[in-house]
Amino acid sequence: MVNGHTFPPPSRQFWSRQRVIVTGGAGFLGSFVVEKLQERGAAEIIVPRIEEYDLVKIQDITRLLDKVMGQKPVSPPSNVMVIHLAALAGGIGANRARPADFFYINLMMGVQLMHESWKRGVDKFVAIGTICAYPKFTPVPFKEEHLWDGYPEETNAPYGLAKKMLLVQAQAYREQYGFNAIYPLPVNLYGPRDNFDLETSHVIPAIIRKCVEAQERGEKEIVLWGDGSPTREFLYVEDAAEGILLAAERYNGPEPFNLGSGMEIRIKDLAELIARLTGFEGKIVWDTSKPNGQPRRALDTARAERFFGFRAQMPFEEGLRRTIEWYRANRQAGKS
């Protein structure tokens, strides 16, 4: 029971009929979504690889849908679902270095894929949004009704706005065509298999790598961006995958919904926690010439609980331990 509502367990009968295209299915979040689809007994799981399908190109999108659905549009139910996870994503540094790429690639992938999916008769489209779509000074905790109350934080606005257009498209296609597209807004993710490349990674894997490498080298300090004052909320990747699939199965409405853990932490406190868990005993130096990013991020997650019974399960410190353990065991995979 969640908030007075009783939800059944995930339905193997529902998934046994579903052929699911998971873009980005070989990536960080996507690999967990694919595993959970396998556990649920999905009829078929299609993971388009970038080497074969560049989803920025319309011809590759149509070729993918031709392969899965045939060359002529079908009338629903087609028993085909698209979960669109593929994205060009990264931390503040990557967003500042490539704002045009972050806008164009994410916009073109999503808009064209949703349009062609509607044309072909796909039953349901799950368009993964981003917390970066929220305005810079959104009241905390972020509620979905505040999505349009201002401009996103400047360092990731091109990415956030490109992904936000998928919400506009989903609602417009639902209104005009009756197309069943839903829009989850996951908060910052972390966990095993994350990207640990310091040029493009997010904050948790970056701090973990810096602490582990400094400890191994006997270095006395690590340098982190900003002043440590911003706050963030983090969601363990397996929890995120579970939330996406619960929504894919149970929710069929136009409203966007947050996926989060409900826990807010200062970056300074996060860094000290990771240092303790990795065993790094040196000094943490804050480079205040670098940007902080959005001042605060924390979500109101009531809508996801009410709509389809999702609540995050992983305790934060345990999730960090598992992430650190994975990184230590998979150093070369993490670096690549």
Read off the pLDDT of residues 148-175 as tens digits, 9 standing for 90 and up. 999 999 999 999 999 999 999 999 999 9
Q: Which residue has the higher pLDDT, 34 or 201?
A: 34
Report the range of poorest mean pLDDT among 6-10, 190-194, 250-254, 288-292: 6-10
pLDDT of residue 333: 52
Positive or negative, the Cα torsion across 7, 171, 186, 11?
Answer: positive
pLDDT tens profile 109-148: 999 999 999 999 999 999 999 999 999 999 999 999 999 9
Question: Phi and psi dihedrals of 108, rounded to 5?
Answer: -65, -40
Q: Is the pLDDT of residue 70 over 80?
A: yes
Would you say the pTM of this structure is higher than 0.85?
A: yes
Q: CA angle 65-68-70, nearest 5°?
A: 75
| Residues 71-90, mean pLDDT to the nearest whole number | 92
Kindly indicate the confidence band of residue 199, based on its pLDDT and cuts at 50, 70 and 90: confident
Kindly indicate the confidence band of residue 334, based on its pLDDT and cuts at 50, 70 and 90: very low
Tell me the C-alpha distance between 131 and 289, whole Å: 24
Q: 173 an active-site residue?
A: no
pLDDT of residue 327: 97
pLDDT of residue 201: 87
Can you spell out the DSSP letters for 152-171? BPGGGHHHHHHHHHHHHHHH
pLDDT of residue 26: 96
Catalytic residue among 159, 173, 183, 190: 159
Kindly indicate the confidence band of residue 232, based on its pLDDT and cuts at 50, 70 and 90: very high
Please, what are the domains in the chain?
A: 12-190+235-262+298-314 (3.40.50.720)
Closest among 63, 166, 77 to 114, alpha carbons compared: 166
| Amino acid at residue number 293 | G
Kindly indicate the confidence band of residue 33, based on its pLDDT and cuts at 50, 70 and 90: very high
Residue partners of 227: CB distance under 8 A and separation at least 6: 268, 286, 288, 292
Residue partners of 149: CB distance under 8 A and separation at least 6: 135, 138
CA 136 to chain centroid, in Å, comes to: 19
Q: Mean pLDDT over all residues of the chain?
A: 94
